[in-house]
Structure 1
Amino acid sequence: MKVVGRVVEVEGLDTYTVVLDSSTKLSKFEFVYFEEDGKKVLGYVEWIRVKPFLPSDVPWDVAAKMPLDGKTAVALARVRSLDEGTPSVGQWVYLASDEDVSALYEVPEERALWIGNLKNRPSVPIRLDMNALVRHLAIIAATGSGKTWTSVVLIEELLKKGATVLILDPHGEYVPIKEKVEELGGDALVLKAHADQEGDVLYKIDLTTVDTDELAFVMGIPKTATRIRAVLEGVRSAAQKAFKEGGDREALSLRRMVEYLNAVAEASEVSRSFNQFASLLKSRDFPIEEKAVKKLWSVVRKGPDPVYDLIKYVSELERLGVYDTRPTPLMSFLRPSTATVFNLSGIKKEVQVHLVYDVLKRIFEARVRYMREVPGEKYPFPVMVVVEEAHRFAPPPSEENVWTTSLLKRIASEGRKFGVLLTIITQRPSRVDQTVLSQCQSQIIMRIINPKDQEAVANSSEELGARLASDLPSLKPGEAIVVGPALPKPAFIKVRPKVLDYGGGDLDLVEEWGKATLIKERVRAVEELAPKVAELLGTSFTKDDIERAKGIIVTEKIYLSKVGNRVKARVGECSFVLGEGGCDPARALAAAVEAALRGYL
């Protein structure tokens, strides 16, 4: 047993101060213990202070002879107990062994998620209790502190346990996890948020379940654009009639809406009365619902401009390819031992919010149906939903009112009963609804600098005291304080190395701008080699071809392979053999210049 000091003051049931042995090298967050009834009562060091032994503490005749230097300094440490027990003044305090500390954080293997090791005891692993995640988890950190790294480590552990994981990814940062996921014995797929994305499954929202206000929000139609909104309401009402009375789901499709709007615009341009307007619409197979047609006429009798404006909104939404009349089945993208990355990058915020609302609503309702054994779409396994940049989808009422906030509040309060679990990730906890944040009873808290964010974290956590909260600004990247039921006791950890990759880290500007120098040389080569390439390929290039080729060589990857005397090239979606046509002149020139620089020509 290594003695570290003696108790000199007992401040409460779980806090005491120790005067340290001068030979002891003790650090903050180190583990110590005292003995009570033959049992070790462990605690951790909250702070250490070194001060001179003050002359006021002894009689003057002694103080006058006492040197004030390092040899007479007194080292004090405050310790917070992690077990029940209160020491007595004068009691000896000892350094805890790794075995003692490991026992303190022991979690049964079948429930253990290894996320890292104690910072001061690297041999002691820290494992979250998977069953405690039913009460949700928050990962909170300033930019660059390691929150995405930590979330990827958590996802790795969940996949090993057979979990179903859905990642709501606003910037596409998690898409690269597909590359190495097989090493963990799991799987990953990318759920696309628009048709032009690369991915595995295109998510589709069922327009038969979307009301007109939702559609106007998603399209981004201003609330002040009352005439455009009135046209939308009129056309949707007519389409709803065709759907309800005739079972025609396609009547509510965006493609059909454009057809209806064109009919309304054409009829409005030639009609002089409501009856003529209604008759013309009927001749164009427009579903006649009298109230809806009257609403349309009241708007378009003044001119068809609102109709043409709405066609632009509808066409823009249709290009995404996610608004259809039949939804993507949940089982096509939710699977056990699978991380599904919902790639929400490249679309406007309104659509992001709507897609997140729709998928969360369907998952929650599917789990409720499964647990209650009622008809409808079901999913048989609990789902962990990782909400990246949670402030986008659950802002406080003072900032913004979005549908996803109320839904996330419901999941946070009721999800544990139905197996819909949340991992909330944010760099700005002060901009996350406090009801949602406080329901995340376990928290992995990394470096936080902003005072408002520190206050928000302290308010949301019962276990993070003021002393621990004061340490948050000094944490280094990859270091975290973990509190809540997912751990037997609070811990100061270093997050373990990850296996899976992710994007979105800080750029290495030296490397990136170094690439620019090489690209500049290639751009210059396009101008210089264009005449020789034209002669070699038996063609000619215009000035526009040359300028476009410069842009291609900067922005697109050019893949080349040589088979005999033929050089095969792929630029973007275009594959061709140099000199045999099959692609536009600019791409052919860019590929030929690259081939010449590599010595293929």
Structure 2
Amino acid sequence: MQVVGMTNEHEVWATSGDRKFRLNELLIIEDEYVGNPVGEVIETYALNPFIPTVDERSPVLIDSDVVKTLGNLGYHIQDEMIYIAKIRILSELFYPVKTGAVVREPLFEEVEDLLIKAFPNVGLTLGIIQGTEGLLSSLPSELSNIAPLFNDKKGVISQNGVPFILDYKSMQSYPHLGVFGGSGSGKSFGLRVIIEELISKKIPLLIFDPHYEMNFKDSFSDELPDKFKATFERNCTIVTVGSDVGVKFDSLGPGDLCNLLGAVSPITEAMENAVASLLENKDSRVLFIERLSNLISLLESPSEETFRQEFMQRKDIEEKKKSYYLNRLLALKKQVGQLSTLKSISWRLNRLVRQGIFMDEGIKKIEDGLKAQKAVIVRGNIWMLRVYAAYVLRSIYTKRREYRDAIQKGLNTATKFPPFIVVTDEAHNFAPRGEHNIPSRREIKEISQEGRKYGVFLILATQRPALLDDTVNAQLNTKIIFRTVRSTDLAVIREETDIGSEEIKRLPYLLSGTSFISSPIFGRTISVKVRVSKTKSPHQINPFDELTEKNEDEEKIYNIINEFIPISETNLLDPLLKLEEEDIVISEDQMINYLDKLVDQGQLVKENNQLLGFTYKSTGDN
């Protein structure tokens, strides 16, 4: 292998007569004058003698100087297969590489500093670096057999390259991580691998789970190597908004309540002023709603005197408190004014109440989980999570910030609260571009800009990076990019990363699970095949396979009716009664449908009898 054609300090062409080049592989160019630089293959070609003649007029993409040089170097273009590669130099050179310089494969130790920035004990092992298969034999033992892969046809396969290990502690300097990719690209699979690695390092995680798929208790496969198998159920706390966690109303300030109301539907300045006037310190939800309802009744009343008389006759209020409450309502009437404003607040508040978001338990389970260095997985539909995320992020981010500020001031008054990472899929719903009235967007944007100082970081996954807030997108220093097709998303990726034009062209065609990782930690874009996950998603099973699987009830039905075979259409009563004794109640039509299904599966035979109708027999019966 040797350098051919015109060279510069950034790129060279290399050729070989007997060896194919592989995309992303690293090669050493032996030119001592420029320090024997390392380069990465970014394009590959083959010149074939059985295609039309290659000359200066041919519509090829290869540099014409390369073709001219081949003959001078002893290659017979018309008679032999020639392999050519475009190589990007990975170091800064001040002189061009010498034409004719020998190109060779490196040993791992010669390129280790370009590939390994952390070891498994202090980093996240996410997969293998594409193009490093040739370095496998020279890998040290601590980097071998730590990143098995998954192949759709072969199942779990052994690690076949140098592992990609992300130094999570470097997030202090290069905070926040983005995971981008279209449907079926492997984005969710990659996000699961990242979370598994963080859980194993006991990093506190706050995960918003709109798809109910963040479950880490079931092993991915029995094929996994024994030393690689692990589940993380004990390290996770799963909660659902409205049943396990919620908002403690009496802890809300006017700003918090306005954020929640605004998450239902945008609110006006008049509504914010009304909430500030209506909400009293340590108000319970019942007291606030009652005060709001009374004030609406006052504004709807024909006159203050009519309302006064009706109010003083109420039996549900203590006599000694009636005058105080009445005067308070009359004062609020002057401050709030518009009936429409109050009704708008009431409508938003009632929707939150119906969703069950107000709970006395508040966020205690979330706080306890983070303090125990667990992954706290918060579930709910996307609307509910967007509403709830604003409240939770504000609350726990404030606790962490107050703790760090107290340490900086030399105070011991703040309760200790650990650093943590916020993780969410569908991130463009939580921090959408251009929608300034989304409360969760404000919190995520603030964390993206200020969180690093306090040890609070973001991992945001989305299919649509173009729909993610621009400021947030710019703060995602490390980006893991899977197959992406939309031109608008590709434009954002091109603008926000150091991905070159060659990688941009490849993005729409990447295989599932293959990604480009752009990170200042490495200083270049690296192609990575994500390792197999240790656990599986509840949605991992193909939904069409459900149609051929037997559930527990079907197994029970089969075992019972098998005692009554042969069964005729006119004699279903006995098996139906037996099923009813086992708490399985089905109709005659359902029984016939199930028997027909067994016939289709070849477990029963269906015969027509003129007296008994159809009869279902075992396949062994004559």
Q: What SS does the corresponding residue of 2:182 show, helix, strand or coil?
A: coil
Q: 1:31 matched to which residue of 2? A: 26
Summarize the alignment of residues 87-126 of structure 1 with structure 2, pairs less than 5 Å apart: 87-109=97-119, 110-120=121-131, 121=133, 122-126=160-164
Letter in 1 for 2:447: I
Contact 1:29 1:46 in 2 (8 A): yes
The counterpart of 1:418, out of the listed 447, 454, 466, is: 454
> What displacement does 1:99 show?
4.2
Residues 129 and 487 of structure 1 are in contact (CA less than 8 Å); yes or no, is this contact kept in structure 2? Answer: no
**Which residue identity does 2:91 align to in structure 1?**
D
TM-aligned CA deviation for residue 421 of structure 1: 0.8
Correspondence for 2:242 among 191, 194, 204: 194
- CA gap of 1:499–1:546, structure 2 versus 1, over 3 A, is closer
Match of 2:358 among 320, 323, 334: 323
Q: Please state if 1:10 is matched with 2:11.
A: no
**Within the alignment, does 1:372 sit opposite 2:405 as a pair?**
yes
Which residue of the other structure, out of 403, 413, 417, is the alignment partner of 2:439? 403
Name the counterpart of 1:386.
423
Correspondence 1:160 to 2:200: yes
- How has the CA–CA distance of structure 1 residues 191 and 10 changed in structure 2, closer, same or farther, with 3 Å as cutoff? same
Aligned equivalents of 1:49 and 1:108: distance in 2? 34
Give how far 1:73 is off: 5.5
User: Relative to structure 1, is the Cα distance of residues 528 and 289 closer, same or farther in structure 2, using a 3 angstrom cutoff?
Assistant: farther
Deviations 1:276-316 (A, max 9, x none): 3145446554732324245789749xxxxx96x98776454
CA distance in 2, matches of 1:259, 1:534: 55
Change (3 A) 1:72 1:519: same
How many Å separate the matches in 2 of 1:443 and 1:28? 21
Q: CA deviation at 1:503?
A: 3.5
Counterparts in 2 of 1:237 and 1:477: CA distance versus 1, 3 Å? closer
Runs of 5+ unmatched residues, structure 2:
48-52, 58-63, 66-70, 134-159, 220-228, 562-568, 595-622
What's the CA shift for 1:497?
A: 0.9
1:485 matched to which residue of 2?
520
Cα shift readout 1:33-92 (whole Å, capped 9, x = no counterpart) = 11344954211101123345427799xxxx9xx999762565432111123445222211
Partner of residue 357, structure 1:
390
What are the within-5 Å matches in structure 2 for residues 434-453 of structure 1?
434-453=470-489
Q: How does 1:91-490 map to 2 (within 5 A)?
A: 91-109=101-119, 110-120=121-131, 121=133, 122-134=160-172, 135-174=175-214, 176-179=215-218, 183=231, 187-195=235-243, 201-206=244-249, 208-211=252-255, 213-220=258-265, 239-240=278-279, 243-244=280-281, 249=282, 251-253=283-285, 255-260=286-291, 272-281=302-311, 283=314, 284-285=316-317, 287=325, 288-293=328-333, 299=339, 314-324=349-359, 327-329=362-364, 331-345=367-381, 349=383, 351-373=384-406, 378-397=415-434, 401-461=437-497, 463-487=498-522, 489-490=524-525
1:268 positional shift? 7.8
Which of 75, 82, 88 is the matching residue for 1:80? 88
- Kept in 2, the 8 Å contact 1:136–1:440? The answer is yes
Give CA-to-partner distance per residue, 1:428-476, whole Å, 9 cap, x none.
1111112211211111111111111111111111x21222221111210
TM-score for the superposition, normalised by structure 2: 0.69
Supply the distance in 2 between the matched residues of 1:170 and 1:377 (Cα, whole angstroms). 33
Identity of aligned residues (%): 21
Mapped contact 1:130–1:486 kept (Cα < 8 A): no
Whether the 8 Å CA contact 1:163–1:336 is kept in 2: the answer is no
- Alignment CA distance shift 1:266-1:512 (3 Å): same
1: CA distance between counterparts of 2:246 and 2:284? 18
Contact 2:217–2:233 (Cα < 8 Å) also in 1: no
Unpaired runs of 5+ residues, structure 1, are 196-200, 301-305, 555-601
Q: Which deviations, in whole Å up to 9, do the C-alpha atoms of 1:67-125 show, x marking residues without a partner?
A: 99762565432111123445222211112234434442123334321100122322311
Closer, same or farther: CA 182–276 of 1 in aligned 2, 3 Å: farther
Task: Note closer, same or farther for the CA distance 1:15–1:441 as it changes in structure 2 (3 Å cut).
Answer: same
Distance across 2 between alignment mates of 1:325 and 1:375: 29
Aligned AA (2:122)? R
Q: Is the 8 A contact 2:367 2:396 kept in 1?
A: no
The 1:21–1:511 alpha-carbon spacing in structure 2 relative to 1, beyond 3 Å, is same
**C-alpha distance in structure 1 between counterparts of 2:212 and 2:486, whole Å:** 26
For residues 546 and 291 of structure 1, do their structure 2 counterparts lie closer, same or farther at Cα, with a shift above 3 Å needed? farther
**2:127–2:529 contact (8 Å) kept in structure 1:** yes
3-state DSSP class of the match of 2:164?
Answer: strand
* Residue equivalent to 2:55: 54
Aligned partner letter, 2:204: T
